[in-house]
Amino acid sequence: MRVLVTGGAGYVGSVSVEALVAAGHDVLVLDDLSKGHRDALPGGVRFVQGSYGDPAVVGQLLANTPVDAVLHCAARSLVAESVSNPALYYRENVAGGVAFLEVLREAGVRRLVFSSTAAVYGTPASVPIREDAVLAPINPYGETKRTFEGALRWYAAAYGLRSVSLRYFNVAGASGRNGEVHAPETHLIPNVLAAAEGRAALTVFGIDYPTPDGTCIRDYLHVEDLARAHVLALEATSPGDPRTAGDGGPVGRTAPSDRTAADSRAAALAINLGNGGGFSVREVLSAAETVVGRPIPHAIGERRAGDPPVLVADAGRADEILGWRAQHRDIVEIVASAWAWRQAHPDGYRA
Ligand code: UFG
């Protein structure tokens, strides 16, 4: 199939592009390069620089190159920024996202996989988190992702848009070609490795959480496992696939929370992507020390606002519906892949 990948020059997007190409799909990338890197794209992948929220750009692109399906990875995705500037998140993730859906509708594109997030759950009442847990985001980032998921559900019922929202937990690691470079970098593993390189000071945000070692526990998922899930989710939106059918196929019967109406024309699924296990901040630090072979200097700091003590996915549904399970489950292996990429790319991307 031919797939349009928004944000395909970003971290998750670029590794997903690699997986799609490896699976034999024809890939077209749309990215405004505000965060992404042109060098992250493999040779031979068609690229258009522009925003998914610009109907003229997307309309022209689809007129020139019709696509079968869309992988929508592009979005604003910094929690702290979303709190200080919610307007940006509503404008881009919600208004831009719906403008994008409208152009897809006009062009007759009825298959979409969406990069959603564990942030839609907020602070969960219990862990591991199942997809039918209450959605109560605690920041505009999570709220705007939840809102877009809602649009997908109603578009499924009314317009027959088949979709899968993949709720990522903590994406980590690297492929051989692509790794994680954000500016500013807020994520734990790149910050730990930057400290190992002597490039930045590391602070552990809180050691008084109600967890065995007092630090927060997160569900770290290798980006290549994530990319593989995207390919499987896109396949699940195929015309005729009962998993995203609107006529009460097997998923419709077992997952009523996904369905908006008994007569909906298509299904909008939501699926967690996680390792199914958690690692504490101290465990990640210790894994990184094993990988780099030396102690990593760090300070102990205050809790970071908005961090729940434990976020771990129940990833059973991904297995049940997509036949997907994380394969890289060892935190040392995940951190080692990130370290190898950094060693090979000491200055990140050129562009
Ligand atoms: N942490 C540190 N020091 C750092 C960076 C992080 O101690 O320098 C800690 C955090 O406090 C947290 C853990 O490491 O306990 C993981 O933090 P990350 O920033 O790497 O990831 P988050 O769990 O905060 O974020 C993830 C996703 C977000 C999503 C969020 C939902 O990356 O997209 O979960 O809560 F919004």
Q: Are residues 113 and 251 in the same domain?
A: yes
Ligand 1 atom closest to the CA of 306, numbered from 1: 35
Same domain for 31 and 98, yes or no, is yes
pTM for the whole structure: 0.95
Q: Are residues 60 and 126 in the same domain?
A: yes
Q: pLDDT per position in the chain (351 positions), as tens?
A: 999 999 999 999 999 999 999 999 999 999 999 999 999 999 889 999 999 999 999 999 999 999 999 999 999 999 999 999 999 999 999 999 999 999 999 999 999 999 999 999 999 999 999 999 999 999 999 999 999 999 999 999 999 999 999 999 999 999 999 999 888 899 999 999 999 999 999 999 999 999 999 999 999 999 999 999 999 999 999 999 999 998 644 444 344 454 444 457 899 999 999 998 899 999 999 999 999 999 999 999 999 988 899 999 999 999 999 999 999 999 999 999 999 999 999 989 974
Say whether both 149 and 268 belong to one domain.
yes
Q: Is the CB of residue 292 below 6 angstroms from any atom belonging to ligand 1?
A: no
Q: Closest Cα partner for 284 from 326, 325, 327, 330?
A: 330
Ligand 1 pocket, residue 157 CB under 6 Å: no
What is the CA(216)–ligand 1 centre distance, in A?
9
How distant, in Å, are the alpha carbons of 7, 50, 88 from that of 72? 7, 14, 18
Give yes or no: residues 167 and 128 share one domain: yes
What CATH number does the domain containing 154 carry?
A: 3.40.50.720
Are 141 and 261 in a shared domain?
yes
Q: Whose CA is nearest to atom 5 of ligand 1?
A: 188
Number of domains in the chain: 2
195 C-beta closer than 6 A to ligand 1:
no
**What 8-state DSSP symbol labels residue 131?**
T
Angstrom distances, CA of residue 20 to CA of 94, 228, 238, 271: 26, 8, 15, 19
What is the distance in A from the centroid of ligand 1 to the CA of 158?
Answer: 37
In a domain, residue 351? The reply is: no
In a domain, 180, yes or no: yes
Indicate if 70 and 195 belong to the same structural domain: no
Residue numbers of the domain that contains 42: 2-171+222-273
How far is residue 278 from each of residues 88, 275, 331, measured CA to CA in Å? 32, 7, 9
Residue 192's domain is classified under what CATH number?
3.90.25.10
Q: Nearest CA to 78 among 88, 91, 68, 65? A: 88
Same domain, 192 and 79: no
Q: Is 117 in the pocket of ligand 1 (CB under 6 A)?
A: yes
Q: How far is the CA of 184 from the centre of ligand 1 (A)?
A: 13
